[in-house]
A and B are shown apart, each in its own frame.
Chain A
């Protein structure tokens, strides 16, 4: 098939540009997925796509203005560039205008190489193993539901300041949900992966089978505050919400939970009693993410002017103290603070913690063990109070042992408030956020203990 390569499209767009600055990037994507329900495959797909994005920067006299136009496939580049320049001319001066990035970040990638690809063959070993798990579940009288997805995106970024950057991003996830045939018992296991080589269907199936066993005995408990052990997945979904709220500008303007009463932000405040560190690192092993920024539209937390900017490792919370907030270069200049970019992974760690989730359950006299959280939404931005449900396994722990499965709960909690109440954190491990894995799969979190988690009401759902 003769068509323009991604690199050629980027070069053509930059050559066609008559603006004062231009960023052009192409995202080549391939994706394969399998979905199953009741021990049978339901839907599947193989997708290929290409997105071409042009951001033009035009100085209309009063300051630099920008416009972004994106198309799929192999569009007419001249038309695309003209459209984005027109959008920029129509826009009026941008508040986040700063000179475009010209310094190449470390890890700029192999510009000339073809895009990386995936295909349905990524499941060659996974699919038969899944079939075996279906058979085993069928013979036990259990049902398996779930989803497996692998995608590969290669991004080629070119700028009129001479940058040529490339990043390959593999992303994979598996969710396995086990249920009794009457749906009254339901449990979950999930993992994130780069290539499916480290995914063990037998391990996931064993986890599901163990939890379904725990659920044989059912215990009804009322709403209230409970000592609760949250596994890494549940911790990740809460910490991600806090991470996504870490915008310096909102904080400086007094409009998020990281704002300081009286003005300014809460950098320097102790948020956690334990010496916890929340950080992102594009080179975190197994969680590798782009080491530079790719931004199609400006917001309070990212700027099109920062395209190509290096995104080095950053501690958001260090030893329990808020250390950094996300800050584009323009806002950094305005507030004489460092520019800090978000990275597409998140790690929470307690130094020298060694306890596993099982160890923490073993050390629990009476409490709840959760599996995942679901339908998380913001109730009050002032405190970052979130609401949501427990899902697929709330277990009662007595004398260090799981003694049964408890009804689900609606909870109301703020992750920022929770940080201050975590009384124990275990060993950090790679985990899959249950709620947010459509958007975010690269997380490593410890299990944590909270002495008084707020279960607001009972949910009859299973």
Chain B
């Protein structure tokens, strides 16, 4: 069912003519490098409040951009009119922008080389969500929301689904011509309960991750939505009656549904080379994992093996070629607990003394310049590691953390604080009921250094998000993180009610 090539309606755009017009003009104007991107991004958001459709918004963003390196300086211009004349104008404008900037630039732009590529790549999905009638999508979301709303103790249900279909054509002066299409989906259901008398309210959200799949994610049974929706009301009831946590140091078993976000914040962003070199210093921030620590910085315990990839099936950062024409790859970032790699684009690869980019350039729209964005950064399971019961069974007293919720980390990626959808007391190697008001707080290297056990392949799951933010002007990128469940010793637990001074 999966299409072999990009949709005909996109290929019917004058892609080659735009490329020839823009690149020829850029070369004539003396650019040492030029690239052209044409992108069409379809988005659709369905939002339901208490099982009634609140909004259905359908968008399409179509445009083109020319990026040049002119006498060692970047220039960029973007527009929405798909004509050869406009492509020429954008090439000229990009060169003009480079010339204006030149007076203020001291670092010369150099790009790591990449062999030319030609071809098509389509992500792994079965059913294009934009081919499914809106009425069918709304009906399914409504029915599942009603099911939740009808359950005992559930007062409100907030639900929704976002779909994206991204089509890109890329051409550059080295001869690369690629066309790509990928689809992703983010369904979410949250049940809320309100205690009118006390004014207390509490919620529980599905932990099903957003993925690089089509509408079949909701219908083909590979994810057990029925089971998850069925258990949420009971979990929510239990949560409202759960005791408030005793703050202090606790052993944590962290489920992949929570750990993916901790990886994202404390490993993913910290190992972006542009950050480590200071290019995001005023905005997204820098990194404690500076290049002088490559090959020596102890990131975590010896059990820690983290990879970066743009190849995992259904991964949200998975592509064929990146937005600088670099082929998708997979590489090590942390091996045996030591920092061994970064995520780079072609310019930062050069700065980092690397022969080749590992393909992490991404622009979130035709209006934006590509910047280094995150690969699927994943914690590898232990081949012979325990299953979830085995991990929990090894803990005398501790807490099991499921699902992500609140997250925050500092600008150098040291100090973080996370909450979750639910927390369970572990006593004598068994779960002993939920806890409330829990947050965990740590410093990145302390946390990963305290990792005492890594789950086996049976615990490995892909988590992720659509909305990772970086760069100015701000860009959002989708990214997945695979991880097993893992055990961390002596992590600081806060009671969020006490933190609020109550």
Q: Which of A's residues lie within 8 Å of B, judged by CB?
A: 1, 3, 31, 33-50, 66-75, 83-84, 86-87, 90-92, 94-96, 120, 123, 127-128, 130-131, 134, 143, 145-147, 149, 175-177, 179, 183, 186, 188, 253-255, 259-263, 296-300, 304, 374-383, 385, 387-389, 391, 408, 410, 412-414, 417, 438, 454, 456-462
* Closest B residue to A134 using CB positions: B104
Given known pairs A379-B499, A457-B441, the reply for A263 and B196 (CB within 8 Å) is yes
Interface string of B270-290 (1 = CB under 8 A from A): 000000001101110110100
Interface string of B79-109 (1 = CB under 8 A from A): 1111001100000010011001101111100
Q: Which of B's residues lie within 8 Å of A, judged by CB?
A: 45, 47, 49, 52-63, 73-82, 85-86, 93, 96-97, 100-101, 103-107, 133-135, 138, 142, 155-156, 192, 194, 196-201, 203, 278-279, 281-283, 285-286, 288, 367-369, 371, 406-415, 417, 419, 437, 439, 441, 443, 469, 472-474, 492, 494, 496-497, 499-502
Given known pairs A46-B93, A68-B58, A70-B57, the reply for A375 and B107 (CB within 8 Å) is no
Give the distance in Å from the alpha carbon of A38 to the alpha carbon of B104 in the complex.
11
Cβ A262 vs Cβ B474 within 8 A: no
Give the distance in Å from the alpha carbon of A232 to the alpha carbon of B502 in the complex.
27
Give the distance in Å from the alpha carbon of A108 to the alpha carbon of B155 in the complex.
41
B132 → chain A closest CB, angstroms: 11
B262 → chain A closest CB, angstroms: 14
What A residues does B106 contact at CB under 8 A? 39-40
Q: List 28 A-B contacts (CB under 8 A).
A: A36-B104, A41-B104, A45-B97, A45-B368, A45-B369, A46-B97, A47-B78, A47-B79, A49-B78, A67-B134, A70-B58, A72-B80, A83-B58, A92-B53, A92-B142, A130-B104, A134-B104, A176-B282, A299-B54, A379-B439, A385-B500, A412-B500, A438-B473, A456-B499, A460-B288, A460-B443, A461-B415, A462-B412
What A residues does B105 contact at CB under 8 A? 40-41
What B residues does A260 contact at CB under 8 A? 199
Give the distance in Å from the alpha carbon of A147 to the alpha carbon of B369 in the complex.
15
Cβ A412 vs Cβ B496 within 8 A: yes
A29 → chain B closest CB, angstroms: 9
Cβ A382 vs Cβ B56 within 8 A: no
Given known pairs A145-B278, A146-B282, A261-B197, the reply for A87 and B58 (CB within 8 Å) is yes
Cβ A127 vs Cβ B100 within 8 A: yes
Cβ A255 vs Cβ B199 within 8 A: no
Closest 4 interchain pairs by CB? A261-B199, A461-B412, A297-B55, A177-B282
- Work out how many contacts link A and B, with CB atoms closer than 8 A: 283
Q: Most A CB atoms within 10 A — which of B81, B200, B419, B501?
A: B501
Q: Which of B57, B101, B198, B496 makes the CB contact (< 8 A) with A41? A: B101
Cβ A389 vs Cβ B104 within 8 A: no
Give the distance in Å from the alpha carbon of A376 to the alpha carbon of B410 in the complex.
10
Given known pairs A34-B101, A387-B406, A459-B414, the reply for A48 and B138 (CB within 8 Å) is no
Give the distance in Å from the alpha carbon of A277 to the alpha carbon of B324 in the complex.
50
What B residues does A414 contact at CB under 8 A? 500
Q: A91-B138, A261-B197, A417-B501 are in contact. List 16 more A-B contacts (CB 8 A).
A: A1-B85, A40-B104, A41-B104, A45-B78, A73-B62, A131-B104, A254-B199, A262-B196, A297-B45, A298-B54, A374-B410, A376-B408, A387-B439, A408-B415, A412-B494, A413-B500
Q: Which of A46, A73, A255 makes the CB contact (< 8 A) with B63? A: A73
Cβ A90 vs Cβ B133 within 8 A: yes
* Closest A residue to B411 using CB positions: A461
What B residues does A454 contact at CB under 8 A? 499, 501
Give the distance in Å from the alpha carbon of A261 to the alpha carbon of B296 in the complex.
55
Q: Most B CB atoms within 10 A — which of A70, A146, A385, A408?
A: A385
* Closest B residue to A127 using CB positions: B104
Interface of chain A, helix or strand or loop or mixed? strand
Cβ B283 vs Cβ A383 within 8 A: no
B451 → chain A closest CB, angstroms: 20
* Closest B residue to A225 using CB positions: B501
What B residues does A96 contact at CB under 8 A? 54
Q: Which of A39, A48, A297 makes the CB contact (< 8 A) with B47? A: A297
Given known pairs A1-B81, A410-B441, A412-B499, the reply for A147 and B55 (CB within 8 Å) is no
What A residues does B200 contact at CB under 8 A? 382
Q: Most B CB atoms within 10 A — which of A39, A40, A41, A263?
A: A41
Q: Most A CB atoms within 10 A — which of B55, B59, B134, B155?
A: B55
Given known pairs A39-B106, A410-B410, the reply for A299 and B415 (CB within 8 Å) is no
What A residues does B82 contact at CB under 8 A? 73
What A residues does B441 contact at CB under 8 A? 410, 456-457
Given known pairs A91-B134, A377-B406, the reply for A72 and B100 (CB within 8 Å) is no
A21 → chain B closest CB, angstroms: 16
Give the distance in Å from the alpha carbon of A245 to the alpha carbon of B50 in the complex.
19
Cβ A456 vs Cβ B97 within 8 A: no
A157 → chain B closest CB, angstroms: 16
A296 → chain B closest CB, angstroms: 6
What B residues does A261 contact at CB under 8 A? 196-199
What A residues does B52 contact at CB under 8 A? 92, 95
Q: Most B CB atoms within 10 A — which of A46, A95, A131, A304?
A: A46
Cβ B406 vs Cβ A379 within 8 A: yes
What A residues does B203 contact at CB under 8 A? 381
What B residues does A456 contact at CB under 8 A? 417, 441, 494, 499
A27 → chain B closest CB, angstroms: 12
Cβ A42 vs Cβ B279 within 8 A: yes
B314 → chain A closest CB, angstroms: 27
Q: Which of A71, A149, A298, A459 makes the CB contact (< 8 A) with B62? A: A71
Cβ A72 vs Cβ B55 within 8 A: no
What B residues does A149 contact at CB under 8 A? 472-473
What A residues does B75 contact at CB under 8 A? 44
A255 → chain B closest CB, angstroms: 5
Q: Which of B85, B138, B417 makes the CB contact (< 8 A) with A387? A: B417
Q: Which of A47, A48, A90, A296 makes the CB contact (< 8 A) with B134? A: A90
Give the distance in Å from the alpha carbon of A456 to the alpha carbon of B500 in the complex.
10
A227 → chain B closest CB, angstroms: 15
Cβ B74 vs Cβ A33 within 8 A: no
* Closest B residue to A249 using CB positions: B49
What B residues does A42 contact at CB under 8 A? 74, 107, 279
Given known pairs A68-B58, A183-B281, A410-B410, the reply for A94 and B415 (CB within 8 Å) is no
Give the distance in Å from the alpha carbon of A96 to the alpha carbon of B368 in the complex.
36
Q: Which of B96, B288, B408 makes the CB contact (< 8 A) with A389? A: B408
What A residues does B415 contact at CB under 8 A? 389, 408, 410, 457-461
Given known pairs A45-B473, A72-B62, the reply for A375 and B282 (CB within 8 Å) is no
* Closest B residue to A383 using CB positions: B500
